[in-house]
Structure 1
C-alpha cells in the first residue's frame, strides 16, 4: 500500500484549553490507530514562552503519552498572532521540517483561538506566503476554523470573502464538532436506511421537534469570550441549527458530501425569519444569577446564558411544525438531545380515564450524557385488563462499541480533514443562511426585546419562565 505523504499541522492557540483538552488527545488516538501519516509533525503557535521540550511534554500530558514516543515530531513557535514577522519565522520552521523530510509536507492550519483573531491570522497567513503550495505542486494546504464563524451576517460574509481569496472552498474546513458525534452522524443513516420512519417524517405525522443543549456547568473562565457572544451565537447559530438541518433535510440522493451540504443549506434557507416585532412571541432569554460577577464579564451585562427559540421550516414537508431550539448554562442537568414527537393516534385503545393523556410516540437522539437512540412506544400492560403503558427501545453507542470502535468527535474532525472529507463541515452557504436567521434575533435582543429573565443556577427551563 502506498504510504500517505507527510503532514504538518500548525495549531494557532497551541496552549489553549481546546488544544490541551481535545486536540492533542485526538491526535494521539489517531496516531495509535495508525490513522495518521507515518511522518507527522505538530507545530504549536502561541504567545507564551514555552521550550520545544516543554511543548512536547504538554502534548503528552494532555494526550496520555510518553514524550519520547517515536515518529512524532513537535516544534513550538512563540509569536503574537498580529506579529507579521512571526509568520516569516514560522515559514522557516516549516521549511526546515520539509528539508528534514526531503519532501513537501501537507500543511494543516488549525485556529484554536478566539474568533476575534481569525481575520488577523488569515491575512498574515496570506501575506507571508504560507498558504502557497510547494513549487513542484506537491502537498495540499487546508485551514480548520472553530465556531462561531463571525458574529452576525455581515462579519460572516466578510470572513468568508477573505477566506475565499486565500483558499478554495474544498480547502476550508469550518468545524462544527457536534456533527462529528456518532449519534448525530447516525441521524441520516437511521432515517434513510429504515423504511418505517421516512413515510412519517413530515407535517402529517410529526407534532413538534425539540432540540436541547443544557449544561450544568457555568461559563468557568470564559467570561470575556462568553460575554461578547452569548449562548445563541455560541451554540445556537452553529451546533443547534446544524442538527436541525440534519433532522429535517430531504433525501440527498446519494451519500455524497456535496449532496448533503446542499440539502442542509436548503433547510437553513427555508427557516422563517423572526422579525423585530415577533421576538417576544417566538424567543425567550435568561441569565443565571452570578454571571455578572464572573471575571471578564461587564457588571451590567445583558448577555444571555439561556435561550429558547420557536422556529419554522417553510417548505412542503414541515409547514406548520414547530422546532424548539433551547440551550442554557447553569442548568439542573446535562442534556443534549433531539426529540421528534409524533402525533397521537386518533383512536386510542385505552381507558376513557386515560383519553386525555398524551399517547404519542417519541423518537430521541440523545448525545449527552450518554449517546443513545430511544423510541417510546405504547403496549398493553401484563394482566387481565387492556390498559396500555409506555415502553422504551434503546440503543447505546457506549455500551455497544466502546472502547474499540467508538470515535470521539475531534478524532473524526481531524481525520476527515487530513483525508479531505468535508461532509461533517459546514459550507459557506450554510454559514450565511444560519446567520441570516440568527442576526435579526441578536439585533432585537440588543435593543432589550424580550425582557432578560434571571434564574438561579441548577434551574430547570420551566422555572425560568
Structure 2
C-alpha cells in the first residue's frame, strides 16, 4: 500500500488555495507545504495557485511565501526557500464573480498542456465559512472540479471546520456538497485528527493486546477528556462570540477524541472502516434534552470576556464547558464520560484520563482504594503515563505507586513529529481519508451538541463567571 501511495504521490498536482492571503495560509499551509517539499513528498511537477481579492503581483505573493517560511520554519535554508517559492503563482479574484474562476480554468488548461498530462487538482477552501456556499457552487458550475477522465486527473475539495453552526446548517451544507461533489472528493478537516499523538490512539488501543480485555465497562470506571487553553480568545471575538466553546472545539476536537478512545476495533487501518467505527460510537452517545441538560452540564465565561474586541456587552457565550455523558449499549453501559474545555485556563493541556476500576479482591495497600490510571497527553509534552503498584525494596511487602512513562519526543526526537497540517496535506495528496471527518460523524456530533446549546440559550444552565487562568468554577 505504501508503495502504491508513493507512486500516486509522484503524479503532477496543482494545489489551489482559495483565500491565499489569509491567516491559515500564513500559519499552517505554507509551513506544511515547505516541510513536504523538503522531505521529498511533493511531486516534481507541482504548482500552487493562490486565489484572493487582495492586490498582489506574482512576485509580491512569492515574497510573502518566502517571508512566511523564514518566520515559521526554523533553520530553513535560503536556497531551499528560493526553489520552493517558484511553485507559487497568484491570481486575483472575488469568490462571488465568475471571472476569477474562468481565468483559473484557463491557467489550469495551459498547465496541463505544458506538462502534457491532466494534472491532479486540489481546491483548498481557506476562506471564511460565510463564503463556502458561493465557492462550492462556483467551483462546480465552472467545471473546475471535474476530473479529465476516470483514469487520470482526480480533483479534491478540502473544507475547513466549522461544518455549519448547528445541525440544520450542517445538513444544508452537506446536502450542497453532496449535490456538487462525490464523497470521495470531499476532505473535511478537523486538524486534531492530523496530530501524531491523536493518530497513535488507534495503534495504542488496537495493536497492544494487553489493553483490550479491560477496555470496557467491566475494566473502566470513568473517562475524562480535557482540552484546556491558557490563552483567551485574542482577536477572534467577532467569530467566537457567535459560536462559543462547545461549538468551537467541543463539537469537533473533543468528540473526535471521545470516538477514538471508545470506538470498536475497525479490524484495519483503512479509512472506510475507521470512519465507520468513529461514526458508530458518536451515534451511540446519550443525547441530553431539556431539563436533563441542567443536571449534566456546566458552562462558564471568564471575567473580562465582555471587554474583548468584537464581543457583545451582554453576551452569554460560554468560554468553558463541562458535560457528563455516556454511551448507550452494553460495552460502555454505566461508564460516565466527562467532556471539558475552556479558554483562559491555568495551563495548556489536552489530555484523556482513563480511570480503571478497583479490582476485587485486590492485593494492594489495606488503607487505600487503589486504581490504575492512564493519562494520555495529546499536547503539550506528548506522551502516555500509567500508574501501577510495585513492591518497595526491602524485607517487608510494602507496595508503592509508580508511573510507567512514555515520552514521544524523547523516544522519537522532536523533528520526527510532523505538524498536523503537514500530515493532513500529505493525506489529501495520497487520497487517504482516514484523518478526515465523514458526513455521518458530523451529523452525529451536531445531534449531540444541538440540544445542549438550545438549553443553554434558554438559560436552563446558568452562566457562571470564573477568574482567568484559574479553575474557580464548582467542578463537582
TM-score (norm 2): 0.92
1:16 maps to what in 2?
Answer: 22
**How far, CA to CA, are the matches of 2:229 and 2:434 in structure 1?**
27
Quick check: 145-154 or 112-121, which moved more?
112-121
Does the alignment pair 1:42 with 2:48? yes
Q: Deviations over 1:149-199 (max 9, x none)?
A: 111111111111111112111111111111121111111111111121000
Retained in 1: the 8 A contact 2:18–2:50? Answer: yes
Distance 1:59 1:349, change over 3 A: same
Shift of 1:346: 2.7
Does the alignment pair 1:99 with 2:103? no
Does the alignment pair 1:432 with 2:443? yes
**How far, CA to CA, are the matches of 1:428 and 1:395 in structure 2?**
35
**How far, CA to CA, are the matches of 2:149 and 2:261 in structure 1?**
44
Does the alignment pair 1:308 with 2:298? no
Structure 1's unaligned 5+ residue stretches are none
Instruction: Give 1:248's match in structure 2, choosing from 262, 265, 277.
Output: 262
**How far, CA to CA, are the matches of 1:136 and 1:243 in structure 2?**
36
Shift of 1:51: 2.0
Distance 1:295 1:96, change over 3 A: farther
Q: Deviations over 1:376-422 (max 9, x none)?
A: 11223344554433211111111222245322211110001000001
Retained in 1: the 8 A contact 2:464–2:473? Answer: no
Distance 1:99 1:449, change over 3 A: farther
Does the alignment pair 1:390 with 2:395? no
2:3 maps to what in 1?
Answer: none
Shift of 1:461: 6.0
1:336 maps to what in 2?
Answer: 350
Retained in 1: the 8 A contact 2:65–2:85? Answer: no
2:73 maps to what in 1?
Answer: none
1:375 maps to what in 2?
Answer: 386
Does the alignment pair 1:452 with 2:463? yes
**How far, CA to CA, are the matches of 2:35 and 2:450 in structure 1?**
38
**How far, CA to CA, are the matches of 2:57 and 2:176 in structure 1?**
33
SS at match of 2:123: strand
Q: Deviations over 1:307-330 (max 9, x none)?
A: 111111101100111111100011
SS at match of 1:320: coil
Instruction: Give 2:131's match in structure 1, choosing from 117, 127, 130.
Output: 117
1:150 maps to what in 2?
Answer: 164
Retained in 1: the 8 A contact 2:300–2:473? Answer: no
**How far, CA to CA, are the matches of 1:251 and 1:456 in structure 2?**
42
Between Structure 1 and Structure 2, how many residues are aligned? 462
TM-score (norm 1): 0.94
SS at match of 2:470: coil
Distance 1:68 1:208, change over 3 A: same
Q: Deviations over 1:258-296 (max 9, x none)?
A: 111111111011001110111111111111112222221
**How far, CA to CA, are the matches of 1:80 and 1:226 in structure 2?**
25
Quick check: 371-380 or 78-87, which moved more?
78-87
**How far, CA to CA, are the matches of 1:77 and 1:270 in structure 2?**
46
SS at match of 1:425: coil
Distance 1:376 1:53, change over 3 A: same
Q: Deviations over 1:52-91 (max 9, x none)?
A: 1222122222223545216842112222322333222232
**How far, CA to CA, are the matches of 1:285 and 1:47 in structure 2?**
39
Retained in 2: the 8 A contact 1:40–1:72? Answer: no
**How far, CA to CA, are the matches of 1:300 and 1:70 in structure 2?**
48
Shift of 1:463: 5.6
Does the alignment pair 1:57 with 2:71? no
Shift of 1:236: 0.8
SS at match of 1:194: coil
**How far, CA to CA, are the matches of 1:345 and 1:94 in structure 2?**
64
Distance 1:68 1:255, change over 3 A: closer
Distance 1:87 1:292, change over 3 A: farther
**How far, CA to CA, are the matches of 1:441 and 1:172 in structure 2?**
29
2:334 maps to what in 1?
Answer: 320
Quick check: 279-288 or 399-408, which moved more?
399-408
SS at match of 2:331: coil
